[in-house]
Amino acid sequence: MDRNLALEFVRVTEAAAIACSKWMGKGDKISADKAAVDAMRSRFNSVDFDGEVVIGEGEKDEAPLLFIGEEIGTKKGIKVDIAVDPLECTSNLAKGKPNAISVLAAAPKGCLLKAPGTYMDQLCVGPQAKGVIDIKTDVKTNLTNVAKALDKEIGEVTVILLDRPRHEQLVKDIRDAGAKIRLIGHGTVSAGVAAALPDSGIDVMMGIGGAPEAVITAAALKSLGGDMQGILKPHDDKCIKQAEEMGISAEKVFGLEDLAKGDEVMFVATGISDGPLLKGIVVGCDDITTHSIVMRAKTGTIRHVEAKHRC
């Protein structure tokens, strides 16, 4: 997939980000999510490509969504798989908190994991720790191996994860191993990407988050040379049935290549509220400024795009 399509997809996340930014801090996450979804769908459908949403946000929490199997684009051009979260950190945006982004991953047909919009246990690291992780083994062994790969003491390793009751045992295991912890309320895409960015202060991302976000994170890690593993964790009977119909075993470990196959993968995101990955929307008197990032696995190129849009 070429740079022109990448730039078209930047316009897609920009449109979603601008649309939902109007709901910043207003306490209405459903309206914010719907604004992002509607703007993203409309912009997608103006782009010359033949796309399909293979995994999307919304199904696990009954929010507005771009549904799995939805066809997008003008049907003119190459066939593309899309994994999408029009508004990641919906609650953060509704409460006026940081780290909300509009984000997607794209790849040629058949190259992104098609799975239910449920949850996934995830383990993400950067390039130096590539090949040393095993999500099936215990936390201490993983962190010991990562520390060795990074030439650090285990007490110097920082793990980021969601602050959730389901992670109570994981937090205990990380502390028992001697590593440091950074807990976050939302934002597993930014957290997973941070593990592969130099000077982010994050070495590992662990824990259960959204499966759509996992596939999107994989696209970024592919571009950054990092590594990732995941195991699907369906949250209800409907998703369990969907996983079975898709031939996905509850025990299957998805590696980076399973989540995002090949070197034609791209990752695109636009900031909505300020976060560690991107600046948020800035509304001026006559224009709106957006900050976006584009990563392409084929070239390893990372582009930061600042754009001004007329109000």
| Per-residue confidence (pLDDT) for residue 64, from 0 to 100 | 58
| Per-residue confidence (pLDDT) for residue 57, from 0 to 100 | 59
Which residue stretches of the chain have pLDDT < 70?
57-64
Choose which CATH entry (3.90.76.10, 3.30.420.40, 3.30.540.10, 3.40.50.2300) describes domain 3-112+264-310.
3.30.540.10
Both tokens of residue 46? 């103006």
Note the CATH architecture for domain 119-259: 3-Layer(aba) Sandwich (3.40)
| Per-residue confidence (pLDDT) for residue 60, from 0 to 100 | 47
CA distance 115 to 250: 12
Q: In the chain, where does the domain assigned CATH 3.40.190.90 lie?
A: 119-259
| Per-residue confidence (pLDDT) for residue 162, from 0 to 100 | 97
| Per-residue confidence (pLDDT) for residue 63, from 0 to 100 | 52
| Per-residue confidence (pLDDT) for residue 301, from 0 to 100 | 86
Question: Computed from CA positions of residues 143, 111, 299, 4, in that sequence, does the dihedral angle turn out positive or negative?
Answer: negative
pTM of the model: 0.93
CA distance 25 to 94: 5
Q: In the chain, where does the domain assigned CATH 3.30.540.10 lie?
A: 3-112+264-310
CA distance 56 to 58: 7
pLDDT tens string 272-286: 999 989 999 999 999
Cα distances (angstroms) measured from residue 85 to each of 100, 177, 229? 11, 33, 20
